[in-house]
Amino acid sequence: MPKRRLIFAAALAAAVLAPSARADGGPSPGVSQGWNGVADNAGGVRFVALPVDRGRWTVVARIKLTGGTVLNSGTLRGSYGMPGLTWNGEVGGLSPNGRVLVVGEAATGLTVLRSVSRFAVLATRTLRTRLRIALRGDFSFDALSPDGRTLFLIQHASSRDLQRYRVRAYDLADRRLLPNAIVDRTEPNMRGLPIARTSTRTGAWVYTLYQGDEPFVHALDTVHGRAVCLDLPWHGGRNSIYQMHIALRDGGGQLAVLNRHGQTEATLNLRPAGRGSAAATWAAAGLSGAGLAATAVFLWRRAFHRRPGSNTER
């Protein structure tokens, strides 16, 4: 058997049998390499990435969720993995329509911020590489639009404040990074660590729980490229937020913050209180958050009439 096929077969076996490993990515959660990968529950498959030949190559495999049959696989030059989304171990990279898979390059060395960030965009059916992306600076995967045409990235540009971040949009059709950062103009200096993630069924809205100076939820409109930062009235301990996860309820009208036992610690109503209202309704631990009402819904409604990258951070 040729050497390349031997490496290929060994990598597929390891991808199915080996435990998951996480490669540190500096201020981002890094990438995941191993059998856990990222699952496409609708398609009944999972995707795994495993570097071989001392990281010179990466095998990406498409495996059935039931039975573990390897359906097909592809190779990439370099060491890549499934992008980490949160510091609690959630991974992503799969577009909501299941057609596009993005993998990120594993960090090497001890440099805190990367000088160049690399990604590969794969077709999920064939696992052929559609596009290789190299960007100057420190970028990590954030989300994909429902149609798989826009890649959203987290950019870290300050070595003095590693928690400060920007959301950027990359047009996969035009193969270019859009010039403007996507920000909530009421909170232009976004900073924090991503703790938990959830999204709507279509992937049109992605919600990330962050721990910053105070906990907040970053809501990203992946269709129109808009962001809203929602302060979370948190009454628990500062460190307890790291054990939380989030889930949508009431048909997407409510966001719940849950502890490890599944008990609700806080809730955020995402629907406006009334027609034309410009205030969000909050509740945490049974307490009214009326005093924290802001312009979140107003910005939320405006999001449906803007294009990705139309907000500028100066």
Residues 266 and 142 both lie in one domain: no
Contact 95, 148 (CB under 8 A): yes
Residues 40 and 172 both lie in one domain: yes
227 assigned to some structural domain: yes
DSSP state of 162: T
124 assigned to some structural domain: yes
Q: Which residue has the higher pLDDT, 266 or 152?
A: 152
> What's the CA gap between 7 and 125, in Å, rounded?
22
pLDDT above 80 for 104: yes
- Domain holding 233, by residue range, is 183-314
pLDDT above 80 for 289: no
Contact 121, 102 (CB under 8 A): yes
Counted domains in the chain: 2
Residues 33 and 170 both lie in one domain: yes
**What are the residues whose beta carbons fall under 8 Å from the beta carbon of 284, sequence distance 6 or more?**
232, 233, 234, 235, 265, 266, 267
Residues 136 and 252 both lie in one domain: no
Segment (H or E) for 129: strand 129-136
Distances, alpha carbon 189 to alpha carbons 74, 183, 261, 311, in Å: 40, 8, 33, 13
> What's the CA gap between 262 and 219, in Å, rounded?
22
Residues 33 and 62 both lie in one domain: yes
DSSP state of 84: B
Q: Name the pTM for this structure.
A: 0.81
Which of 145, 178, 211 is the last residue in one of the domains?
178
Residues 173 and 231 both lie in one domain: no
63 assigned to some structural domain: yes
Which of 138, 160, 178 is the last residue in one of the domains?
178
Residues 107 and 195 both lie in one domain: no
Strand bridging mode 138-144 / 150-156: antiparallel
173 assigned to some structural domain: yes
The secondary structure of 205-257, three-state, reads EEEEEEECCCEEEEEEECCCCEEEEEECCCCCCCHHHHHCEEEEEHHHCEEEE
Q: Per-residue pLDDT tens for 177-229?
A: 999 999 888 877 889 999 999 999 999 999 999 998 889 999 999 999 999 99
Distances, alpha carbon 142 to alpha carbons 16, 29, 65, in Å: 26, 11, 24
Residues 296 and 204 both lie in one domain: yes
Which of 127, 161, 178 is the last residue in one of the domains?
178
Residues 143 and 104 both lie in one domain: yes
The pLDDT-based confidence of 12 (bands split at 50, 70, 90) is low
Segment (H or E) for 17: helix 3-17
Residues 231 and 305 both lie in one domain: yes
Residues 155 and 226 both lie in one domain: no
Residues 213 and 146 both lie in one domain: no
2 assigned to some structural domain: no
* Burial class for 56, CB neighbours closer than 10 Å (0-12, 13-18, 19+): exposed
Q: Per-residue pLDDT tens for 32-74?
A: 998 789 999 999 999 999 999 988 999 999 999 999 999 999 9
